Amino acid sequence: MSMKVVFFSLTGQTRKFVDKLNMDRLELNPADPFIEIDEPFIIVTPTYDGEVKELLNDFLETGNNATHFKGIAGGGNLNFGQLFIFTAKELAETYDVPLLHQFEFQGTDDDVSKLKKAVKDLGFDNHS
């Protein structure tokens, strides 16, 4: 079974990372995050203020989306200090899913490999 990647990208860094994953994907639009999906997915999220968390909460609370949520990865900048990937950490805790990976900016090839391995370890394929 394949895994879908749900993501939001404000500056384009998260999108560039997700592009490198080569997995089935859904980019959330802040104007309408109320999309219902009926398949397993992970979220890749940047670290921003509460708006991103609110957008992802709206998506997760739509239909039965939360039941298909299998894990999360967070991107950001280590200069954020304690706030580095806080959006991913908070959502992992709130929805009781594993924090699969953390990366800086648009990630490296090593980051891509590590997240793909984490998805495989969940029992899912990495390709669309």
Has residue 98 been placed in a domain?
yes
pLDDT of residue 1: 65
Q: What is the pLDDT of residues 6-23, one digit of tens each?
A: 998 888 889 999 999 999
Angle at 80 between CA 78 and CA 81, to 5 degrees: 80
Residue 86's domain spans which residues? Answer: 4-30+37-121
Quote the pLDDT of residue 99. 96
Q: Is residue 127 part of a domain?
A: no
Radius of gyration of the chain (CA): 13
Q: Where are the beta strands (DSSP E) in 1-128?
A: 4-7, 25-27, 41-46, 69-76, 99-104
Q: How many domains does the chain have?
A: 1
Sign of CA dihedral 123, 90, 105, 23: positive
User: Would residue 16 count as lying in a domain?
Assistant: yes
Q: Give the pLDDT score at 96.
A: 97
Alpha carbons 99 and 80: distance in angstroms, whole number: 18
pTM for the full model?
A: 0.92
